Amino acid sequence: MIFADMFSIFFTVLLLVGFVIYFLAPGVSETKQEEIIIKESIYGNENIFVLNAFLNTPVAEGKISDLVNLWLLEDSYEARLIEESSGIFYNVYGKCYELKIGDSLSFGDYTSSSHFANCIEYPNFGKEPIKICLDISGYDEKFKEGKEAECF
Amino acid sequence: MFLNKRGLLPTLVLMFTLICFGAALFYSGEAMDNQKGYIGAAQADFSNILVESENAIIYDKQVMEQSFSKVMIKFAEGGAIFPNSQNAFDNKRYWEKGGIKCYPSLDTMKRNLADLLEIEIIGEDYNREIIFKKGVGMVVILEPIISYNVSGSNYEISYTPSTKIIHESNYDFSLFLENVDRVKDVVDECESDSLCWEEKADFYWEEDNKVFKFELISGKIADAFGEKEVILGATVDFNDINLLAGDEFKCLD
């Protein structure tokens, strides 16, 4: 009788372990992969709202977006755009950010290996739209490690 | 004890079996898909369409900033109405032709400007409201009506952004109405008498065979790129409409 019980337990456990491994293993790996994609996606998405706030920041010319528009019309506004934009982002992220406006403007000198840059399309007076991209992942990495002071 | 030795073992086996079976079901591929659908993938998809809509709004807002003055100037040059004849004199629009009067009112101007904004700038993705503040300026409010949709195996999301684009301009639209009245007064008094026009009209005009083309300086519009003059231009034709010759005319505002 004891042998029968033992055999029953052993057989049941064996079946169930196999069952669990079969279903659980791929599920977990898929979940991890999915989580990474979701984190990247949501992380990058946050930058859109930062960029929107940046474009609406008041400056002498009106707003940063006005300054971008003026720069699109006249290159002579480049220095002003860099000055104002750097002033906004440097206060928060130090050097650990990268902002690219169009093809020719890029400031913030952080070069991270794991970029989460997020871009918006920006109209260019009827011409091919430009892109404005922001990457603050470098700062966030430092922040997680408690080393954000290194950015300044 | 309510369980003796013989009953304890099968009970433990049963409990263990149930726990393992439950765990297996919970972590099964289908169950995992459901969990991803509700706690991950759906939220990520929603986040993505939220960003897509925000991108579109940022873009359209900037198009408004860059192009609004240009559209207003074009609107004025077109007589604040839509073309009502293929043969408009020098591309000006008729405010009156063959006795048919098409002088724009405030409401028709608002409607026409909203329609022109749709054609020139923003497409059909927004409801458009225009508020004129006499002596102060004007506000254009664009309310998104486009829906962003995304679906997964077990969810469907439809999102219409609530963020409105509000574009303010210092252009005093009442100048349009004042100038329409100025033209009306001259037309009522002089009709096609060019000598009378010379005496009464204090704005630029020219006449060619009873067709009067005129331009009225209607203030300036300013934006981040500077100030530009707004010139309201239109045409009045006192010739009869010759229906037999296939001449058609109707107010299209």
Chain segment B137-158, per-residue pLDDT in tens: 899 999 999 999 988 887 888 9
Residue type, B70: K
CB B208 within 8 A of CB B236: no
Considering CB atoms only, which of B20, B54, B66 is closest to A20? B20
User: Percent of chain B beyond pLDDT 90?
Assistant: 31
The answer, yes or no, to whether residue A120 has pLDDT greater than 80, is yes
Quick check: is B250 in a domain? no
CB A70 within 8 A of CB A77: yes
Residues 21-40 of A with CB under 8 A from B: 23-24, 26-28, 30-31, 34-35, 37-38
Q: What is the residue range of B70's domain?
A: 5-245
- Tell me which of A107 and B121 has the higher pLDDT: B121
How would you classify residue B173: left for phi > 0, otherwise alpha for psi between -120 and 50, otherwise beta?
A: alpha
pLDDT of residue B143: 94
Query: Which range among A32-36, A83-87, B81-85, B205-209 shows the weakest confidence by mean pLDDT?
Result: A32-36
Query: Which range among A4-8, A89-93, A137-141, B226-230 shows the weakest confidence by mean pLDDT?
Result: A4-8
How many separate domains does chain B show? 1
The answer, yes or no, to whether residue B107 has pLDDT greater than 80, is yes
**A4 interaction partners in chain B (CB closer than 8 Å):** none
The answer, yes or no, to whether residue A102 has pLDDT greater than 70, is yes
B251 touches chain A (CB under 8 A): no
Quick one: three-class SS letters along B45-112? HHHHHHHHHHHHHHHHHHHHHHHHHHHHHHHHHCCCCCCCCCCCHHHCCEEEECCEECCCCHHHHHHH
The answer, yes or no, to whether residue B49 has pLDDT greater than 70, is yes
Give the chain A residue nearest B23 (alpha carbons). A20
Closest CA–CA distance from residue A112 to any residue of chain B (Å): 24
Quick check: is B150 in a domain? yes
Give the chain B residue nearest A66 (alpha carbons). B224
Quick check: is B252 in a domain? no
The stretch B37-51 carries a mean pLDDT of: 74
Quick check: is B253 in a domain? no
- Distance CA(B189)–CA(B207), nearest Å, equals 16
Quick check: is B101 in a domain? yes
pLDDT of residue B31: 60
Q: Does the distance separating the beta carbons of A9 and B63 come in below 8 Å?
A: no
The answer, yes or no, to whether residue B205 has pLDDT greater than 90, is yes
Closest CA–CA distance from residue A149 to any residue of chain B (Å): 31
Residues 92-121 of A with CB under 8 A from B: 120-121
Closest CA–CA distance from residue B225 to any residue of chain A (Å): 7
ipTM computed for the complex: 0.72
pLDDT of residue B38: 45
Residue-averaged pLDDT of chain B: 83
Helix (H, G, I), strand (E, B) or coil at B44: helix
Q: Does the distance separating the beta carbons of B51 and A20 come in below 8 Å?
A: no
The stretch B16-38 carries a mean pLDDT of: 64
Q: Does the distance separating the beta carbons of A41 and B24 come in below 8 Å?
A: no
- pLDDT category at B198 given cuts 50, 70, 90 is very high
- Tell me which of B104 and B91 has the higher pLDDT: B104
- pLDDT category at B231 given cuts 50, 70, 90 is very high
pTM more than 0.80: no
The answer, yes or no, to whether residue A152 has pLDDT greater than 90, is no
Measured on CA atoms in the order A67, A68, A70, A74, is the torsion positive or negative?
positive
pLDDT of residue A97: 85
Contacts of B211 (CB under 8 A, 6+ apart): B89, B235, B236, B237, B238, B239
A125 touches chain B (CB under 8 A): yes
pLDDT of residue A143: 84
The answer, yes or no, to whether residue A18 has pLDDT greater than 70, is yes
Closest CA to B8 of A147, A106, A2: A2
pLDDT in tens, A50-80: 888 999 999 988 899 999 999 999 989 999 9
- Distance CA(B99)–CA(B251), nearest Å, equals 11
- Distance CA(B161)–CA(B145), nearest Å, equals 8
**Per-residue DSSP letter, A60:** T
Residue-averaged pLDDT of chain A: 78
Closest CA–CA distance from residue A152 to any residue of chain B (Å): 30
What distance lies between CA B242 and its chain's CA centroid? 37
CB B127 within 8 A of CB B115: no
pLDDT of residue B1: 47
Considering CB atoms only, which of A16, A37, A65 is closest to B20? A16
A5 touches chain B (CB under 8 A): yes
The answer, yes or no, to whether residue A113 has pLDDT greater than 80, is no
Helix (H, G, I), strand (E, B) or coil at B147: coil
Closest CA to B66 of A120, A122, A106, A83: A122
Considering CB atoms only, which of B21, B44, B63 is closest to A41? B44
pLDDT of residue B57: 93
pLDDT of residue A43: 62
- pLDDT category at B37 given cuts 50, 70, 90 is very low
pLDDT in tens, B162-189: 889 999 998 888 888 899 999 999 999 9
- Distance CA(A68)–CA(A72), nearest Å, equals 6
Considering CB atoms only, which of A12, A27, A70 is closest to B29? A27
B48 touches chain A (CB under 8 A): yes
Quick check: is B25 in a domain? yes
Q: Does the distance separating the beta carbons of B62 and A42 come in below 8 Å?
A: no
pLDDT of residue A142: 82
Q: Does the distance separating the beta carbons of A48 and B54 come in below 8 Å?
A: yes
CB B64 within 8 A of CB B140: yes
Give the total residue count for chain B. 253
